[in-house]
Amino acid sequence: MGQAGEVVPEGFRAPAPALRGLVSYHGYDLRGLAPGRHRGLPSPYLTFVVTFGPDLELERPDGGRDRFAACVGGLHEVAERIVHDGRQSGVHLTVHPLAARALLGLPASELATITVGADDVLGVPGRELAARMADTEDAGWDARFAALDDVLLRLLKRDATVPGAELRHAWRALTAPGASGVGELAREVGWSGDHLGRRFRAEFGVGPKVAARMARFDRARRDVARRAAAGSLALADVAAVHGYADQAHLAREFRALAGCSPSRWVEEEVRAGMSGGADDPDAGLGPDVGSVQDDPAGRAPSSAA
């Protein structure tokens, strides 16, 4: 893909207070790149992208392409391929899966493995958001984030049904570093392993082990990006820190989830400024804010359901 051309300073800002714990914002504006493809990697978050430059162009597995001014995607286990002509400009919103009902009006499972236009999910507000963001082509990040806050605050369903305490605890436990096994977690919440798996997939669209795998990979690839930026990419250390058996295990996970080796990802994405990699995805998504918070005392719920 070549080296990055003009990289306009990125925009980071916490969303409006009522949205914190539900979504975070990461603005990007990359210009002058060599035309090519960017990998949208699996992560434990839903993806919501709104552009203010060229439309986002996704390459489907069958070779066809979809174009979006704004789109929403669920949890996915394989990298998405984003085709670009040398410019990528927009805001990437990281949406917590536990917040999908409150913010998008549906459970995360309804978007699993797919990416659709924002208007298909949000209707008129989705079209409004795309139009308002397009109008910020010559504006700054403050105007873009203000448009996001305005539309998302109107979308926010404060009385939306939220996943039960058992599922909230299960998600937090499984996606945290050093996650416990599914069997142990099921006993904590008072469910059988099969019941936990069914309820988990019905809410999030992936099974418990897949969620834990994606969360660990997301932490590892961000660590890879940070180390590469610092000029010290020790993959064996990354593997050890994030609980992989060895460097070969980490490399297999990269090939399975990113479609390439860690070193190739660094060369093609991180060094070209396209990884989004070292930013903190949890900014504004902590467990103690918003409508998706855990038990304040940190206790595991118990249910006979």
Structure tokens at 11: 């925009």
Report whether pLDDT(274) > 80.
no
On whether residue 186 sits in a domain, the answer given is no
* Tally of domains in the chain: 1
Report whether pLDDT(77) > 90.
yes
What residue numbers bound the domain in which 98 lies?
Answer: 6-155
Tens of pLDDT, residues 82-136? 999 989 999 999 999 999 999 999 999 999 999 999 999 999 999 999 999 999 9
Q: Could you give the CA distance from residue 49 to residue 93 in angstroms, rounded to a whole number?
A: 6
Structure tokens at 208: 């418990």
Mean pLDDT check: name the lowest of 72-76, 84-88, 160-164, 276-280.
Answer: 276-280
Mean pLDDT check: name the lowest of 10-19, 126-135, 264-273, 275-284.
Answer: 275-284
On whether residue 60 sits in a domain, the answer given is yes
- Report the 10 Å Cβ neighbour count for 183: 11
Domain with 26 in it: what CATH number? Answer: 2.60.120.10
Q: Could you give the CA distance from residue 176 to residue 286 in angstroms, rounded to a whole number?
A: 12
On whether residue 83 sits in a domain, the answer given is yes
Residue with tokens 């489907």: 60
Structure tokens at 37: 């493809």
Higher pLDDT, 140 or 289: 140
Structure tokens at 129: 């958001």
Q: What is the pLDDT of residue 206?
A: 97
Instruction: Give the contacts of 90 (CB within 8 A, at least 6 positions apart).
Output: 27, 28, 49, 50, 51, 52, 53, 56, 133
Q: Is residue 300 very low, low, confident or very high in pLDDT (cuts 50, 70, 90)?
A: low
Tens of pLDDT, residues 159-170? 778 899 999 999
Residue 243 DSSP one-character state: T
Q: Could you give the CA distance from residue 240 to residue 260 in angstroms, rounded to a whole number?
A: 20
On whether residue 99 sits in a domain, the answer given is yes
On whether residue 245 sits in a domain, the answer given is no
- Report the 10 Å Cβ neighbour count for 101: 20
On whether residue 292 sits in a domain, the answer given is no
On whether residue 74 sits in a domain, the answer given is yes
On whether residue 10 sits in a domain, the answer given is yes
Q: What does pTM read for this prediction?
A: 0.87
